[in-house]
Amino acid sequence: MTENAPRAPIPAAIAETAADWIVRRDGGELSAENQRSFEDWLSEPAHRRAFERLEDLWGLIDNDPMPVTAPPISLPPIPAKRRILSRRKRSSATAPARQRQRWTGGAVAASMALVAFASFGDWSIRLQADYATGVGERRVLTLEDGSRVTLGSSSAIVHDFSGARRKVRLLEGRALFEVAPDRSRPFTVEAAGGSATALGTAFTVRERDGIAELVVTEHRVRVVGGGRSKVVDEGQRVDFDAQTLGAVEAAGNGATAWTQGQLVVVNRPLREVVAEIARYRHGYLSVAGTAAEMKVSGVYDLDYPLAAVDSIERSLKLRSFRLSDRLIVLHR
């Protein structure tokens, strides 16, 4: 195996146990009994590899990100001791505090396991891309035909204008396309196994969790998904992928607010809002439990995602636990 070859994923059970040991150790000195249990667990080579990998991954989150165009490199050495877990809104009641401590430890362990599984997941995508943006970055491009593309945070595209059709493939993230007219060469954006062909000027496409969302901001777009096609008019939206083509709906306000660094939401589940804000910051951000389905309306500044998280936490009277500001989970 070469130095830069991808490593096998950590089995879920081992990853969660390794993450739990990291949380318990970083929360304070282990008792003599727990220290012996920890050392016994580490004596298994697969366990030690998992533990060291999760420590490396957490160190990677806590450091500045690597450039988009850089190849994978050896992970940096990690200090033996981490920051103490900080928690907001501590309770003076002993029993609730213990319950929150147990809940927090388990949630952090699960979160770190997710970080382990997701590490370097987008490198293969980035190596394919003609253009890409980093976390929190927006970029405006002018393609060779004069069309303009605005890339959102953590987005990537590849394009091919060599044939009779101008084709752009959205590899990840979101983009606003302002298409230069050319009747002889249709302009098509491929995403999530479907496609959108401009019949006018401007539209946005977002790919998330294998599903693409189209919002038409000027004129019309023909969308193909699941073997069917629909024409979507200005001010409308639709979801599509390789198997399905959803219902056409009104897009609502704020469809292109992200191009100005704002997120506009009206009565949306908090999990969706948090997932979008998470794209604009380094580290891990999530919402757990019943709080995930709370409905949210507001305007949030994507250039200051941590302030947006703090605002949501205060306004909805939520709690959070944090490992520095790099791992945040909101909960009731």
Task: Indicate if the pLDDT at residue 46 is higher than 70.
Answer: yes
With cut-offs at 50, 70 and 90, classify the pLDDT of residue 141. very high
Task: Indicate if the pLDDT at residue 304 is higher than 80.
Answer: yes
All residues at 6 or more sequence positions from 281 whose CB lies less than 8 Å from its CB, including other chains: 135, 136, 305, 306
With cut-offs at 50, 70 and 90, classify the pLDDT of residue 123. low
166-192 average pLDDT score: 96
Distance CA 302, CA 209 (A): 20
CATH code: domain of residue 297? 3.55.50.30
Which of 91, 121, 151 is the C-terminal boundary of a domain?
121
With cut-offs at 50, 70 and 90, classify the pLDDT of residue 147. very high
Listed range (21-25, 44-48, 88-92, 317-321) with the worst mean pLDDT: 88-92
> What pLDDT is attached to residue 254?
84
pTM of the model: 0.67
> What pLDDT is attached to residue 111?
56
274-295 average pLDDT score: 90
| Higher per-residue pLDDT: 241 or 321 | 241
Q: Is 7 within a domain?
A: no
Task: Indicate if the pLDDT at residue 184 is higher than 80.
Answer: yes
Residue percentage of the chain with pLDDT more than 70: 73
Task: Indicate if the pLDDT at residue 204 is higher than 70.
Answer: yes
Range of the domain at 219: 125-250
> What pLDDT is attached to residue 283?
80
pLDDT in tens, 236-267: 999 999 999 999 999 987 888 999 999 999 89
308-321 average pLDDT score: 93
Task: Indicate if the pLDDT at residue 159 is higher than 90.
Answer: yes
Task: Indicate if the pLDDT at residue 72 is higher than 70.
Answer: no
pLDDT in tens, 216-243: 999 999 999 999 999 999 999 999 999 9
One domain, residues 140 and 223 = yes
Q: Is 315 within a domain?
A: yes
173 and 155 Cβ atoms separated by less than 8 Å: yes
| Higher per-residue pLDDT: 12 or 196 | 196
| Higher per-residue pLDDT: 98 or 182 | 182
One domain, residues 59 and 73 = yes
Task: Indicate if the pLDDT at residue 268 is higher than 60.
Answer: yes
Which of 63, 95, 121 is the C-terminal boundary of a domain?
121
59-69 average pLDDT score: 40
Q: How many domains does the chain have?
A: 3
CATH code: domain of residue 219? 2.60.120.1440
Q: CA torsion sign, 13 to 18 to 24 to 27?
A: negative
Which of 101, 121, 141 is the C-terminal boundary of a domain?
121
54-58 average pLDDT score: 64
> What pLDDT is attached to residue 120?
43
Task: Indicate if the pLDDT at residue 191 is higher than 70.
Answer: yes
One domain, residues 110 and 145 = no
